[in-house]
Amino acid sequence: MTTVVSKLPTADALRAQVRDALAAVGSTVALGEPGAGGLAASTPITGDVLFTVAPSSIAEVDAAIGEAAHAFSQWRVTPAPVRGALVGRLGQLLVEHKAALASLVTIEAGKITSEALGEVQEMIDICEFAVGLSRQLYGRTIASERPGHRLMETWHPLGVVGVITAFNFPVAVWAWNTAVALVCGDTVVWKPSELTPLTALACQALLERAAADVDAPTAVGRLVLGEREVGEKLVDDPRVALVSATGSVRMGREVGPRVAGRFGRVLLELGGNNAAIVTPAADLDLAVRGIVFSAAGTAGQRCTTLRRLIVHSSIADELVSRITAAYRQLPVGDPFDERTLVGPLIHTASYRDMVGALQQAQAEGGEVIGGERVDVGPDFEEGAFYVKPAVVRMPSQSAVVHQETFAPILYVLTYETLDEAIALNNAVPQGLSSSIFTLDMREAERFLAADGSDCGIANVNIGTSGAEIGGAFGGEKETGGGRESGSDAWKAYMRRATNTVNYSTELPLAQGVHFG
């Protein structure tokens, strides 16, 4: 049976942790008492509202964009390695305050401590990457068809970048965008999820400290807090050159056309309905470990969470049995307890969506194992939602399997041929992450080929979640097509110019054109 570890901390204890963490990073923003009005800063650990935070008015958002736009005029002509010094200092401060920031991630997002620390480490890693990038914003020289001419490409800062982030990675995704945008010469206005304002206040305090330490303009990074109308201001304001938005497909359908309507740029990171194929040639011990973390980690609330398991019929019974046995051993409860592996769902709506999806799966012929709500003990509150991860054996890839439910539900489908398995992988509208477990080189290469997985991330013998910052992160189809973090994702934050230099005394025209 599911293990429940320790009793939950009290709301008062969590409030004290928040105050200590914000004081440690140097945030001086006043926090209101619960019920005082404003933006509620809640915790999924107990379901309590811990504090209230003053939201940004539309006038304040307008001013923040204006300040960032003004700072851009100075920042864009600052040498890139000097811009890198700001990001390097931010990385140093993140190292110093890693534990404090991770505690806020756990309190607001419900992540277990190791995952929260890992998220802050991801911030540190992208800062290190971006510092190196600040000396590698390379253009290229191109052979010209005209004698005495040089043809080249240069990259220039783009402008103000609006960053809209989701609750499940409340700090890392901001860092992906901000570290790279800053070294590219852009300025940033950040609208975090309304569910995680406290982590945002901490990050903003550290960025302002870093800017002061290296004598950079503080307005290179601005924070605005609020709900939909705040995000809409970023989306619609022509001063915002790029909107990088992480969230649902529904949100992306609104953001994309609105920004395109004013000829701005978008970088969208939307839904993921990720699958793993397990073939008869797989190392099942390895596969079970990868599947369980990818499907149950973060209580199923990652965009890269494994949601569909496509397993060969000859090994399906054994694999499902091993996964369900592993699930029964997963400790559920207080995410601050080092023994816990599964923390809470973010809020009531997430639990309601999970229940609805399981009911729909049963109606479509699915066999549900697990998925019950867990009573975490005498301090159990109606507002806190802890669940057992669910395994659902489905007769076919029905309607519910095509939907992404942000909860720990793993749908199991069977296949007979690898072509059939790849078709099942690609059959959903989302295209973020995918993997195959096999020791057969031909199967692995087939999965990675042009007619294999259609996702932005395709892995072999690891799960669908846990991307490194060195690679570009993002997906295709309804995932939005954006790329963040490593590789050449930096190009999204810059504008390209093609330059031709004539160092001859003649004026030949391209394509052999004569005019004169």
Q: Within 10 A of 471 (CB to CB), how many other CB atoms are there?
A: 14
Q: Within 13 Å of residue 238, how many CA atoms lie on the same side as its CB?
A: 3
Asked if 124 and 464 touch (Cβ cutoff 8 Å), the reply is no
Nearest to 190 by CA among 206, 476, 465: 206
Asked if 108 and 166 touch (Cβ cutoff 8 Å), the reply is no
CB-based burial, 364-388: b 16+ in 10 Å, e otherwise: eebebbbbeebebeeebeebbbbbb
| Residue 303 falls in the annotated catalytic set | yes
* Length of the chain in terms of residues written: 516
Paired with 503 in beta bridges are none
Q: Among residues 108, 269, 443, 478, which one is catalytic?
A: 269
Nearest 5°: CA angle at 24, between 23 and 30? 20
Place of tokens 């042009």: 450
* Distances from the Cα of 176 to the Cα of 84, 128, 323, angstroms: 14, 11, 33
* All residues at 6 or more sequence positions from 12 whose CB lies less than 8 Å from its CB, including other chains: none
Structure tokens at 9: 């901390």
* Distances from the Cα of 418 to the Cα of 82, 277, 432, 445, angstroms: 51, 9, 20, 12
Asked if 108 and 28 touch (Cβ cutoff 8 Å), the reply is no
Q: What is the CA radius of gyration of the chain?
A: 24
| Residue 254 falls in the annotated catalytic set | no
Q: Among residues 303, 443, 478, 484, which one is catalytic?
A: 303
List, as one string, the DSSP characters of 404-422.
--SSSEEEEEEESSHHHHH
CB-based burial, 394-431: b 16+ in 10 Å, e otherwise: beebbebbebbbbbbbbbbbbbeebeebbebbbbbebb
* All residues at 6 or more sequence positions from 268 whose CB lies less than 8 Å from its CB, including other chains: 245, 252, 255, 256, 479, 480, 481, 482
Paired with 317 in beta bridges are none
CB-based burial, 83-122: b 16+ in 10 Å, e otherwise: bbbbbbbbbebbeebbebbbbbbbbbbbbbbebbbebbbb
Q: Within 10 A of 496 (CB to CB), how many other CB atoms are there?
A: 10
* All residues at 6 or more sequence positions from 342 whose CB lies less than 8 Å from its CB, including other chains: 112, 296, 299, 330, 331, 332, 333, 386, 387, 389, 408
Catalytic residues: 269, 303
